[in-house]
């Protein structure tokens, strides 16, 4: 068996790649593996999901697997990923399971596992879970009788999470009008409540999940809808979440996109002003725009770069005791309040900065002058081969020489999909597009989909 866990858990097309049998096997292996960490009591697991239809099926298989391995389960129902992580810590559970494919389309689903405290699993624990799945039930005696796990439902988990978010800001948002696109996802019943409770006037769109419409032409991967709603309603800004609300992007009052790099810059300066930006340092990934680096250098904020993936940002934040990090895609991590990316939280603090300064989002975001950047997601047969093929590498090196100091090239396989991501920054949009298309063509030739 190859690697089962990607950069954000196990993911695939539900009932095809990610079957109930696989979910059950992952749950059994996770319970057995994590029970070995502390044998003093039966493990307790929190299980949540986003509203996609296949989550019902996979939740049943996951709960069956966990209890069959002797773990007790607290079901929290449909909640954002960061809410599940928060409840793992609040309930002092040994681990948590979130069933979600985040921003992926409805037919996909995924299994994210949190360690105690709501932290992402270390690589070595993921490897041990994979090994346990491969070994199957060899040498394992199933618990019986009173040792079989029990299941309980936590009915007020959402309320606990909402109050936690509200308590993270001290300045009311009165006077701000916001459109929040809930992506017909897990935050549909939470984000509008949080923002209203703190004083904003809220217009919620795509807040009626039916199990089939999650991320469907809405949310953080489809900004046209929130942009149109902001302009139509004269709102001060728009916040676009993804299906499990672990990321957010924003749009200004005039409809311009504010991406994760700009949100990080705004929050970094706010936190530095408040004295809460530890070591005056922001953690980003290699995908962040060169414009963010230049802006933070100008403002006296240090940058630390990691590999792509919010887990690597989180690892650096924890290892160095830092207080803010994230990705251009909108995963924003504020360890004082969350153990993972939290889109509702990031949107809340973005609006708090607008309220405290009295400045429009466009002015706050202007601290970052972004270089033109083109990102092409190239479907491939083998995402590893596509990125590492000698001809592709040669094309990338030639492009880097062509751009010199005026831009950069980044090729990387997706951690969750059969894609190679080709990213090019250049002095002009035309140059970036030209170079990116040439590199994308080289990837397609090396590994046809």
Q: Does residue 340 sit in the same domain as residue 404?
A: no
pLDDT of residue 321: 97
**Residue 323's domain spans which residues?**
160-365
Q: Are residues 224 and 244 in the same domain?
A: yes
Mean pLDDT for the chain overall: 93
Residue-wise pLDDT tens digits, 325-360? 999 999 999 999 999 999 999 999 999 999 999 999
**Are 333 and 325 contacting, i.e. CB atoms less than 8 angstroms apart?**
yes
- pLDDT value at 1 more than 60: no
> At residue 413, does pLDDT exceed 90?
no
Q: Which residues are annotated as a binding site for Mg(2+)?
A: 102, 242, 244, 246
Does residue 77 sit within a domain? yes
Q: What is the CB neighbour count within 10 angstroms for residue 143? A: 15
- Distant-in-sequence, close-in-space partners of 49: CB < 8 Å, separation ≥ 6: 55, 56, 58, 59, 77, 78, 79, 98, 99, 100, 186
> Is 295 found in the same domain as 187?
yes
The last residue of one of the domains, among 106, 133, 155, is 155
List strands edge to edge, sheet with 302-306: 302-306, 281-285, 325-326, 332-333
* Lookup: tokens for 436: 């990116």
Residue 264: partners with Cβ closer than 8 Å, 6 or more residues away = 282, 284, 288, 292, 324, 325, 326, 332
Kind and range of the H or E element at 20? helix 20-35
Rounded mean pLDDT, 359-382 = 93
Q: Which residues contact 118 (CB under 8 A, 6 or more apart)?
A: 84, 85, 86, 87, 88, 89, 96, 339, 340
Residue 427: band (very low, low, confident or very high) from pLDDT cuts 50, 70, 90: confident
Among the three residues 365, 384, 417, which one is the final residue of a domain in this structure? Answer: 365
Q: Residues 318, 381: one domain? A: no
| Residue 382's CATH number | 3.30.310.50
Residues 32-86 have pLDDT tens digits of: 998 766 667 889 999 999 999 999 999 999 999 999 999 999 999 999 999 999 9
In tens, the pLDDT along 224-276 reads: 999 999 999 999 999 999 999 999 999 999 999 999 999 999 999 999 999 99
Q: Which residues contact 60 (CB under 8 A, 6 or more apart)?
A: 20
93: left (phi over 0), alpha (psi -120 to 50) or beta: beta
Is the residue at 3 inside a domain?
no
Which pLDDT value is given to residue 39? Answer: 66
248, β-bridge pairs = 241
How far apart, in whole angstroms, are the C-alpha atoms of residue 215 and residue 360?
A: 28
The closest of 269, 255, 257 to 301, measured between CA atoms, is: 269
Is the residue at 5 inside a domain?
A: no
Q: Is 4 part of any domain?
A: no
| Half-sphere exposure in the Cβ direction for 389 (13 Å, CA) | 22
Same domain, 410 and 349: no
Task: Quote the tokens at residue 346.
Answer: 């990031």
- State whether 291 and 352 are in the same domain: yes
- Model-level pTM? 0.89
- Catalytic sites, residue numbers: 102
* Residue 21, domain member (yes or no): yes
Does any domain span residue 427? yes
Q: How many domains are contained in the chain?
A: 3
pLDDT in tens, 429-449: 999 999 999 999 999 998 887
1 is a domain residue: no
Of 212-216, 300-304, 401-405, the poorest mean pLDDT is in 401-405
Main-chain phi, psi angles of 336, to 5 degrees: -65, -20
Look at the chain and count its residues: 449
CATH code for the domain in which residue 63 is found: 3.40.120.10
Backbone angles phi, psi at 284, to 5 degrees: -130, 180
Assess whether 48 and 84 both reside in one domain.
yes
Q: What are 23's two structure tokens?
A: 């979910």
Mean pLDDT of 8-30: 94
Assess whether 180 and 33 both reside in one domain: no
- Residues 51 and 102 reside in one and the same domain: yes
Point out the domain boundary residue: 343, 365, 387: 365
In a domain, 393, yes or no: yes
Is 194 in the same domain as 250? Answer: yes
Residue found under tokens 């949080």: 194
Task: Check if the beta carbon of residue 441 is closer than 8 Å to that of residue 395.
Answer: no
The CB-side HSE value for 431 (13 A sphere, CA atoms) comes to 15
Confidence of residue 3 (pLDDT cuts 50, 70, 90): confident
My answer on whether 186 and 333 are in the same domain is: yes
Residues 395 and 361 in one domain: no
Q: Give the percent of the chain with pLDDT over 70.
A: 98
């Amino acid at each position: 068996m190859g690697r089962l866990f990607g950069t954000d858990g196990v993911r695939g097309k539900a009932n095809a790649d990610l079957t109930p049998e696989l979910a059950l096997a992952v749950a059994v292996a996770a319970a057995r593996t994590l029970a070995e960490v502390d044998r003093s009591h039966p493990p307790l697991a929190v299980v949540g999901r986003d509203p996609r239809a296949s989550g019902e099926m996979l939740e049943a298989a996951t709960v069956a697997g966990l209890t069959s391995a002797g773990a007790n389960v607290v079901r929290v129902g449909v909640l954002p990923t960061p809410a599940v992580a928060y409840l793992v810590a609040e309930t002092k559970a040994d681990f948590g399971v979130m069933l979600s494919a985040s921003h992926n389309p409805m037919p996909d689903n995924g299994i994210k596992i949190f360690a105690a405290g709501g932290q992402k699993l270390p690589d070595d624990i993921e490897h041990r879970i994979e090994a346990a799945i491969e070994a199957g039930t060899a040498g394992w005696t199933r618990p019986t009788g009173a040792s079989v796990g029990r299941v309980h439902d936590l009915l007020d988990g959402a309320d606990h999470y909402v109050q936690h978010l509200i308590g993270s800001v001290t300045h009311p948002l009165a006077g701000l009008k916001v459109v929040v696109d809930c992506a017909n996802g897990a935050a549909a019943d939470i984000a509008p409540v949080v923002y209203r409770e703190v004083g904003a006037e809220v217009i919620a769109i795509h807040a009626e999940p039916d199990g089939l419409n999650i991320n469907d032409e809405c949310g953080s991967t489809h900004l046209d809808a929130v942009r149109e709603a902001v302009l139509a309603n004269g709102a001060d800004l728009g916040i676009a979440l993804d299906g499990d609300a672990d990321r957010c992007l924003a749009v200004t009052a005039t409809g311009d996109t504010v991406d994760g790099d700009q949100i990080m810059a705004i929050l970094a300066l706010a936190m530095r002003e408040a004295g809460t930006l530890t070591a005056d340092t922001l953690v980003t990934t290699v995908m962040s725009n060169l414009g963010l680096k230049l802006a933070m250098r100008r403002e006296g904020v240090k940058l630390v770069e990691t590999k792509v993936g919010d887990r690597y940002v989180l690892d650096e934040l924890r290892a160095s005791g830092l207080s803010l990090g994230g990705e251009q895609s909108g995963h924003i991590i504020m360890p004082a309040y969350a153990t993972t990316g939290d889109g509702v939280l990031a949107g809340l603090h973005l609006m708090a900065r607008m309220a405290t300064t009295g400045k429009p989002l466009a002015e706050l975001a202007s601290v970052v002058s972004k270089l033109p950047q083109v990102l092409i997601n190239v479907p491939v047969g083998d995402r590893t081969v596509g990125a590492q093929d000698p001809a592709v590498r040669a094309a990338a090196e030639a492009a880097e020489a062509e751009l010199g100091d005026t831009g950069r090239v980044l090729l990387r396989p997706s951690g969750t999909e059969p894609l190679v991501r080709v990213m090019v920054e250049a002095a002009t949009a035309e140059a970036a597009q030209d170079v990116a298309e040439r590199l994308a063509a080289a990837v397609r030739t090396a590994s046809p989909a």
